[in-house]
Structure 1
Amino acid sequence: MLTIRWFRVTTLALLAWLMPALTSAEVCAVDDTGRRICLPEPAQRIAALSPGATELVWAAGAGDQVVAVVAYSDYPEMAKTVPSVGSHTRLDLEALISLRPDLVIGWVTGNPGEQLDALDDLGLPVFAIEPRTFEGVSSAIERLAVLAGTESTGFAEADAFRKGMASLRTRFQQASPVPVFYQVWDEPLMSVNDQHLIGKVITLCGGRNVFGDLDRLVPRISTEAVLAANPEAILAGGMGEENRHWLTRWAGFPELRATAQGNLFFVPPSLIQRPTPRMLEGSRLFCEKLETARARR
């Protein structure tokens, strides 16, 4: 009898100890600064503090849970209807707090550290992201999906991006190299190095970044440096989806190989300059431009 009673008491005690683990919906993920962020349950009110973060949250399947964005959060279309709380560099903290987010998605180098620290001091969980690799894009989507409880959608999106980029890598890994200059800005004139995600797209497509060895991710360069490098193809994004005028300056240098061969190409910046799933579409377009350059030899 004592043994049975002891068994019952022990079983009840064990169940009581296990119940919090069985009923808890706590979710955790490690952000891109190495911090482990845990929530008592999946986030239902998310603030995305950069356009890239907004896209990634939607890609993770949590768009319906976004209650705050910042300026230029223009994709997907539904993001334009969400209240804005300033810009990624100048947040309206009072407006943000009034929306009662239970998760804030920050951008590692895009949001001022003091503002993210202020949110952290207020007890708001801040999850900082900034993908620097193709795998980093997929990983960010998966981690956001875990925190939002939308794993089914998010993991599928991450896997589709991963497989799409792998397919491009396989297709172009034996392609003959094309010396490329990618113009990321006009005044001052700026490019990217090989460590930048756009630099990785150039490599993926079988291009050779003529400024790839420079130290800075986004180095300032001169017109003379571009002329000296004499790229076979020049690609630019411009300041808007239909703004191609950045290529006009290079058309004025007929001695440039890219100009002489007609390899001055426009790539919509939203498809290539944000580390989101749309980069797959931008990479396909980028690779097509380099294929065109090869065909013109």
Structure 2
Amino acid sequence: MKRMMLACWVCLVCVGSHAATAPARIVTLAPHLTEWVYSLDMQANLVGVSAYSDFPAQAGTLPEVADYQGINFKALMALQPDLVLAWQGGNKPQDISRLRALGYPVFVSSPARPADIARELQALAETLGVAHRGKRLAEQFLARLNTLKEQYTRRPLTPVFYYSWTSPLMTVGPGAWANQLLNVCGAQTLFADAPTDYPQVSLQEVLKRQPAVLIAAQAIPPASAAAFWEPHNGVLNAPLIQADPDVLSRFTLRLLPELERVCQAIGSASAEPPAPE
């Protein structure tokens, strides 16, 4: 009977219906989901988190039940959660399936575009019984996001070389999360024709394509980022911007202030010089 009741609760979560009562014990399997629980002021119900759940700082004091290798089912089961928040694309599909097979209610997050943050946060709020909080946060996020889009709408899009690694030199393709963010700024990845979302490219090809802006999504000193491009300054005249990789890669409300900064930097860097009088 208990397993049947849990199975019914899973179905309710999957279709986004309102929960009769808020779950008392929540476990999150991705850092952005941990932040969402705090954003909704439901942290008192949070009993376990994933690795790298480091914002806010107090989240790091909670038991860790998952990392890049997968879920520690023994640790998770010991916490007796009545709701597990999972990330489709970040957690292993077989782990999510096993959670459901064990009878745990699972809320699955799978944001693909910035606006999905608002939609999914509101759905989670409804599941947690705090729909009013989620609605308010979602509306504020979308209003700010739409303002940003309107401010930087331009055609053609500014070609940007966005990278996180230099050895090997990795960038993003058209479907990658980072390119969705660039599109908000009126820009797009230099490799919009790439067949994959995270292609490895050659330095020669970057120089050949002549990006208008370089974005280093790296947590390194600015001098170190600039040193990589310095030998090629004679053939590449593209301003270098640094972005916070931790903030931009997480699907949280903290995204917008950093994205606004990046959009402003792209706009300033790619602005055409005034025509001579």
Distance 1:174 1:227, change over 3 A: closer
Alignment gaps of 5+ in structure 1: 1-24
- Give TM-score, length-normalised by structure 1: 0.80
How far residue 186 of structure 1 moved from its aligned partner, in angstroms, is: 3.2
Alignment gaps of 5+ in structure 2: 1-8
Question: In structure 2, what residue type is equivalent to 1:250?
Answer: W
Q: For residues 208-247 of structure 1, give each alpha carbon's deviation from its aligned partner in whole angstroms, at most 9, with x where no partner exists.
A: 3211221212222222221121111100111x3x554344
Write the distance in 1 (CA, Å) between the matches of 2:11 and 2:106: 14
Q: For residues 145-182 of structure 1, give each alpha carbon's deviation from its aligned partner in whole angstroms, at most 9, with x where no partner exists.
A: 11111222222111111111100011111477432111
Write the distance in 1 (CA, Å) between the matches of 2:29 and 2:215: 29
Correspondence for 2:62: 82
Write the distance in 1 (CA, Å) between the matches of 2:91 and 2:11: 24
Q: Does 1:274 align with 2:250?
A: yes
SS in 2 for 1:287: helix
How far residue 110 of structure 1 moved from its aligned partner, in angstroms, is: 1.0
Write the distance in 2 (CA, Å) between the matches of 1:60 and 1:213: 39
Correspondence for 1:255: 234
Distance 1:159 1:38, change over 3 A: closer
- Give TM-score, length-normalised by structure 2: 0.86
Q: For residues 16-73 of structure 1, give each alpha carbon's deviation from its aligned partner in whole angstroms, at most 9, with x where no partner exists.
A: xxxxxxxxx999444xxxx667855322211110112212232233222211111111
Aligned match for 1:286, one of 255, 258, 262:
262
Question: In structure 2, what residue type is equivalent to 1:159?
Answer: E
Asked if structure 2 preserves the Cα contact closer than 8 Å seen for 1:61 and 1:150, the reply is: no
Asked if structure 1 preserves the Cα contact closer than 8 Å seen for 2:172 and 2:197, the reply is: yes
Correspondence for 2:188: 208
Identity over aligned pairs, percent: 27
Asked if structure 2 preserves the Cα contact closer than 8 Å seen for 1:37 and 1:125, the reply is: no
Correspondence for 2:100: 120
Asked if structure 2 preserves the Cα contact closer than 8 Å seen for 1:62 and 1:145, the reply is: no
Runs of at least 4 residues of structure 1 off by over 4 A? 35-40
Asked if structure 2 preserves the Cα contact closer than 8 Å seen for 1:26 and 1:41, the reply is: no
How far residue 256 of structure 1 moved from its aligned partner, in angstroms, is: 4.2
Asked if structure 2 preserves the Cα contact closer than 8 Å seen for 1:104 and 1:127, the reply is: yes
Write the distance in 2 (CA, Å) between the matches of 1:136 and 1:97: 30
Distance 1:138 1:295, change over 3 A: same
Question: In structure 2, what residue type is equivalent to 1:287?
Answer: C
How far residue 138 of structure 1 moved from its aligned partner, in angstroms, is: 0.5
Aligned Cα root-mean-square deviation (Å): 2.5
Give the paired residue count: 264
Correspondence for 2:205: 225
Distance 1:98 1:249, change over 3 A: same
Q: For residues 119-159 of structure 1, give each alpha carbon's deviation from its aligned partner in whole angstroms, at most 9, with x where no partner exists.
A: 21211112211200122110110011111112222221111
